[in-house]
Amino acid sequence: MSLIDTLNRPLRDLRISVTDRCNFRCVYCMPKEVFGSDYQFLNRGQILTFEEIARLAGIFAAHGVQKIRLTGGEPLVRKGLPNLIKMLAAIPDLDLTLTTNGALLAQQAQALKDAGLNRVTVSLDSLDNEIFKAMNDVDFPVEKVIAGMDAAASVGLTPLKVNMVVKRGLNETSILPMARFFREKGYTLRFIEYMDVGHSNGWRLDDVVSAKEIIQIINREMPLEPLDPNYRGEVAKRWRYQDGGGEIGVIASVTQAFCGACTRVRLSAEGSLYTCLFGVKGHDFRELLRNGATDAEIAERIAQVWNKRADRYSELRSEKTSGLPKVEMSHIGG
Ligand code: SAM
Ligand code: SF4
Ligand code: SF4
């Protein structure tokens, strides 16, 4: 059964944040000034159990969801994650992926694969340790992230994608070195425009390096040509090296909004459902789960939420909207 929102968009993708905690403090996501030692993260009882997540996921899958991405915070800091993956992998015909900062990937890759995970996306913002450490703000070295990627690729969590957020003045000098390096490696690099998610990162439009600019920088040295999307609603615009050296993607959510084809819904770690990355208030599904709602009642609530959906934040974005209250990225996972 398929659900359609007010702008005729079907529900296809579910992103599940399994924790609001993270072992990094990326300056554009969880800046230390906000997420310091006294920050109150959710406690165990507040976050959904694996059984609760798997039950919801099954109901979503029965209503059109074809792809689930686990995220966070950092999903690999949630204890026993392969057990959840096993439960989700039992849902038929589901594409099951995960986005991670890669810090714990080398030690977990095999267990994730064995549990039934299909692929991973690993975030990395620079190959230069000085820049990368200034961005992750916990002194974490590039080499360990790359070791995590290689471990994932070697156990078959492929095709492997790499996410690089580009923020002006911080890491635009890393665009070309990253493109060269991952072209050689054969991992698909995707550049993400810096977004005004949440309200703690102090976003300014001037800080955004546009997808157009990124493509120009790479194209000058390694000529590119555009590729057709793999499927309707694909977030990244794809480009191919003209000499056959693989492809890259750009996620231009600021300069070329793609709300028209947005089929995504997000479940926060404590069970709130957000119909937009820039949502203000989620819909509480934890209460339903814990108050004994039947599957049919939960499905009915999902349909109500999706049928009413009219979100198109990125198409309406301006300097004014960036100041509005929004949920934090670390809460719903990008
Ligand atoms: N911790 C995991 C990671 O970093 O891959 C998963 C969660 S993270 C919130 C998901 C993705 O969102 C990462 O690729 C991250 O770089 C990206 N991200 C976080 N804040 C962002 C921002 N302000 N603008 C654009 N992308 C952002
Ligand atoms: Fe953590 Fe990912 Fe946010 Fe960085 S982007 S602080 S790794 S959740
Ligand atoms: Fe989807 Fe909201 Fe992003 Fe638009 S702004 S693409 S509706 S998540």
pLDDT in tens, 68-96: 999 999 999 999 999 999 999 999 999 99
Ligand nearest, relative to CA of residue 23: 2
* Overall average pLDDT of the 96-120 stretch: 98
* Overall average pLDDT of the 53-58 stretch: 98
Q: Per the domain annotation, does 5 fall within a domain?
A: no
Residues composing the chain: 334
With the C-alpha atoms ordered 322, 253, 174, 17, is the resulting torsion angle positive or negative? positive
Q: How far is the CA of 76 from the centre of ligand 2 (A)?
A: 11
Q: What pLDDT, on a 0 to 100 scale, did the predictor assign at position 278?
A: 85
Q: What pLDDT, on a 0 to 100 scale, did the predictor assign at position 257?
A: 85
* Burial of residue 91 (number of CB atoms within 10 Å: 0-12, 13-18, 19+): middle
Q: What pLDDT, on a 0 to 100 scale, did the predictor assign at position 285?
A: 98
Q: How far is the CA of 100 from the centre of ligand 2 (A)?
A: 8
Q: What pLDDT, on a 0 to 100 scale, did the predictor assign at position 209?
A: 96
Which residue's CA is the closest to the ligand 1 atom numbered 12? 334
> The domain that contains 25 carries what CATH number?
3.20.20.70
Q: Per the domain annotation, does 7 fall within a domain?
A: no
pLDDT in tens, 181-205: 999 999 999 999 999 876 666 788 8
Q: Determine the distance from the C-alpha atom of residue 52 to the mean position of all C-alpha atoms in its chain, rounded to a whole number.
A: 21
Local confidence band at 274 (pLDDT 50, 70, 90 cut-offs): very high
Residue 1 pLDDT > 80, yes or no? no
Q: Per the domain annotation, does 6 fall within a domain?
A: no
What is the number of domains present in the chain?
1
Q: Per the domain annotation, does 147 fall within a domain?
A: yes
Ligand nearest, relative to CA of residue 32: 2
Residue 119 pLDDT > 70, yes or no? yes
Q: Per the domain annotation, does 2 fall within a domain?
A: no
Q: What pLDDT, on a 0 to 100 scale, did the predictor assign at position 329?
A: 76
pLDDT in tens, 158-189: 999 999 999 999 999 999 999 999 999 999 99
243 vs 196, residue with greater confidence: 243
Local confidence band at 280 (pLDDT 50, 70, 90 cut-offs): confident
* Overall average pLDDT of the 218-237 stretch: 90
194 vs 323, residue with greater confidence: 194
If you average pLDDT over each of 94-103, 252-261, 276-285, which comes out highest? 94-103
Domain that holds residue 209: 13-332
Local confidence band at 313 (pLDDT 50, 70, 90 cut-offs): confident
Q: Per the domain annotation, does 84 fall within a domain?
A: yes
Range in 1-10, 261-270, 311-320 the model is least confident about: 311-320
Separation between Cα atoms, residue 82 and residue 136, nearest integer Å = 25
Q: What's this model's pTM, rounded to 2 decimal places?
A: 0.96
Ligand nearest, relative to CA of residue 251: 1
Q: What percent of the chain has pLDDT over 90?
A: 84
Q: How far is the CA of 98 from the centre of ligand 3 (A)?
A: 19
Q: Per the domain annotation, does 226 fall within a domain?
A: yes
214: nearest Cα among 170, 247, 173? 173
Q: Per the domain annotation, does 231 fall within a domain?
A: yes
Atom of ligand 1 nearest to the CA of 22: 1
Local confidence band at 239 (pLDDT 50, 70, 90 cut-offs): very high
